[in-house]
Amino acid sequence: MGRLTGRDPSLLRRINSTVVLRALRAADGTPTLSDLVQATELSRPTVEGVVEQLVAAGLAAEATGGPGDVRRQGRPARRYRFRAEAGHSLGVEIGPHRVAAVLADLSGRRLGTAEREVSASAPAEERLERTRSTVAELLRLCGVSHGTLRAVGVGSPGIVEADGTVRLCTALPGWTGLPLGERLRHSFRCPVLVENDANAAVLAEHWKGAAVGSDDVVFVLAGLSPGAGSLIGGRLHRGFGGAAGEIGALHLLGREAAPEHLLSTTGEPLHPLDEAAVAEVFALARGGDERARQAVDRFLRRLVHDVAALVLALDPELVVVGGWAAGLDGVLAPLRRELERYCLRPPLVELSRLGADAIATGALRLALDRVEEELFTVEDADAR
Amino acid sequence: MGRLTGRDPSLLRRINSTVVLRALRAADGTPTLSDLVQATELSRPTVEGVVEQLVAAGLAAEATGGPGDVRRQGRPARRYRFRAEAGHSLGVEIGPHRVAAVLADLSGRRLGTAEREVSASAPAEERLERTRSTVAELLRLCGVSHGTLRAVGVGSPGIVEADGTVRLCTALPGWTGLPLGERLRHSFRCPVLVENDANAAVLAEHWKGAAVGSDDVVFVLAGLSPGAGSLIGGRLHRGFGGAAGEIGALHLLGREAAPEHLLSTTGEPLHPLDEAAVAEVFALARGGDERARQAVDRFLRRLVHDVAALVLALDPELVVVGGWAAGLDGVLAPLRRELERYCLRPPLVELSRLGADAIATGALRLALDRVEEELFTVEDADAR
Question: Smallest Cβ distance to A247: which of B247, B305, B312?
Answer: B312
A240 to chain B, any CB pair closer than 8 A? The answer is yes
A241 to chain B, any CB pair closer than 8 A? The answer is yes
Residue B341's alpha-carbon distances to A32, A52, A252, B294, B308, in angstroms, are 65, 61, 9, 22, 11
Looking at CA atoms only, how far is residue B121 from chain A in angstroms? 22
Q: In the structure, what pLDDT confidence band is assigned to residue A293 with cuts at 50, 70 and 90?
A: confident
The letter for the amino acid at B82 is F
pLDDT per position as a tens digit, B313-324: 999 999 999 987
Q: Hey, of B165, B202, B253, which one would you mutate to test binding to chain A, going by the most A CBs within 10 A of its CB?
A: B253
Task: Give the pLDDT score at B4.
Answer: 45
B166: in domain: yes
Task: Give the pLDDT score at A67.
Answer: 53
Q: In the structure, what pLDDT confidence band is assigned to residue A73 with cuts at 50, 70 and 90?
A: low
Same domain, A176 and A221: no
Domain count, chain B: 3
Looking at CA atoms only, how far is residue B346 from chain A in angstroms? 9
Q: In the structure, what pLDDT confidence band is assigned to residue A339 with cuts at 50, 70 and 90?
A: confident
A281 to chain B, any CB pair closer than 8 A? The answer is no
Q: Quote the CA–CA distance of A251 and A302 in Å, as a whole number.
A: 8
Residues in A closer than 8 angstroms to B339, CB to CB, are: none
CB contact under 8 A, B246 and A314: no
A171 to chain B, any CB pair closer than 8 A? The answer is no
Same domain, A348 and A220: yes
Q: Quote the CA–CA distance of A77 and A90 in Å, as a whole number.
A: 36
Residues in A closer than 8 angstroms to B338, CB to CB, are: 253
CB contact under 8 A, A309 and B247: yes
B313 to chain A, any CB pair closer than 8 A? The answer is yes
CB contact under 8 A, A245 and B167: no
A242 to chain B, any CB pair closer than 8 A? The answer is yes
B208: in domain: no
- Give the mean pLDDT of A98-123: 95
Task: Give the pLDDT score at A1.
Answer: 39
Higher pLDDT, B72 or B213: B213
Question: Smallest Cβ distance to B312: which of A242, A246, A305?
Answer: A246
Same domain, B99 and B50: no
| Helices A124-142 and A180-188, axial angle in degrees (round to 10) | 30
Q: Please name the residue of chain A whose CA is at the shortest distance from the CA of residue B302.
A: A254
Same domain, B153 and B195: yes
Same domain, A47 and A99: no
Looking at CA atoms only, how far is residue A239 from chain B in angstroms? 5
Q: In the structure, what pLDDT confidence band is assigned to residue A211 with cuts at 50, 70 and 90?
A: very high
On whether the CB atoms of residues A216 and A316 are closer than 8 A, the answer is: yes
A298 to chain B, any CB pair closer than 8 A? The answer is no
Same domain, B114 and B47: no
B54: in domain: yes
Task: Give the pLDDT score at A3.
Answer: 44
B331 to chain A, any CB pair closer than 8 A? The answer is no
CB contact under 8 A, B304 and A253: yes
Task: Give the pLDDT score at B382.
Answer: 41
**Domain CATH code at residue B164:** 3.30.420.40
Task: Give the pLDDT score at B380.
Answer: 47
- Give the mean pLDDT of A172-180: 95
Looking at CA atoms only, how far is residue B135 from chain A in angstroms? 31
pLDDT at A238 over 90: yes
From the CB of residue A285, how many other CB atoms can be counted at a distance below 10 Å?
23
Contacts of A326 (CB under 8 A, 6+ apart): A222, A351, A352, A355
Task: Give the pLDDT score at A383.
Answer: 39
Q: Please name the residue of chain A whose CA is at the shortest distance from the CA of residue B246.
A: A312
Q: Quote the CA–CA distance of A4 and B100 in Å, as a whole number.
A: 53
Q: In the structure, what pLDDT confidence band is assigned to residue B67 with cuts at 50, 70 and 90?
A: low
On whether the CB atoms of residues A254 and B305 are closer than 8 A, the answer is: yes
pLDDT at A255 over 60: no
B3: in domain: no
Question: Smallest Cβ distance to B305: which of A239, A245, A253?
Answer: A253
- Of the three residues A35, A67, A82, the one that is the final residue of a domain is A82
Same domain, B234 and B332: yes
B274: in domain: yes
Same domain, A20 and A108: no
Same domain, A70 and A182: no
CB contact under 8 A, B253 and A304: yes
A2: in domain: no
Same domain, B321 and B237: yes
Task: Give the pLDDT score at B186.
Answer: 93
Residue A50's alpha-carbon distances to A7, A20, A60, in angstroms, are 19, 7, 10
Same domain, B95 and B68: no
- Give the mean pLDDT of B67-90: 79
- Give the mean pLDDT of B270-278: 67
On whether the CB atoms of residues B292 and B285 are closer than 8 A, the answer is: yes
A1: in domain: no
Task: Give the pLDDT score at B341.
Answer: 80
Question: DSSP secondary structure string, A222-267?
Answer: -SSS-EEEEEETTEE---TTS-TT-GGGGGGGGGPPPHHHHT-SSS
pLDDT at A6 over 80: no
CB contact under 8 A, A301 and B254: yes
B237 to chain A, any CB pair closer than 8 A? The answer is yes
**Domain CATH code at residue A42:** 1.10.10.10
Give the range among A106-110, A340-344, B150-154 with minimum mean pLDDT: A340-344
Task: Give the pLDDT score at B383.
Answer: 39
CB contact under 8 A, B244 and A313: yes
Residues in B closer than 8 angstroms to A175, CB to CB, are: none
On whether the CB atoms of residues A93 and A359 are closer than 8 A, the answer is: yes
B325: in domain: yes
Q: Quote the CA–CA distance of A189 and A177 in Å, as a whole number.
A: 21
pLDDT at B378 over 80: no
Same domain, A96 and A145: yes
Cβ contacts below 8 Å, chain A against chain B, sum to 138
**Closest residue by Cα to residue A175 from A122, A228, A114, A99:** A122
Mean model confidence pLDDT for chain B: 86
From the CB of residue B141, how many other CB atoms can be counted at a distance below 10 Å?
13
**Domain coverage including residue B173:** 87-203+359-374
Contacts of A89 (CB under 8 A, 6+ apart): A103, A104, A105, A106, A108, A149, A150, A151, A152, A153, A364, A367, A368, A370, A371
pLDDT per position as a tens digit, B201-226: 999 999 999 999 999 999 999 877 78
Mean model confidence pLDDT for chain A: 86
A126 to chain B, any CB pair closer than 8 A? The answer is no
- Of the three residues A51, A82, A113, the one that is the final residue of a domain is A82
- In the DSSP assignment, the letter for residue A179 is -
Give the range among A218-227, A264-273, B28-37 with minimum mean pLDDT: A264-273
Contacts of B381 (CB under 8 A, 6+ apart): B1, B2, B4, B15, B18, B19
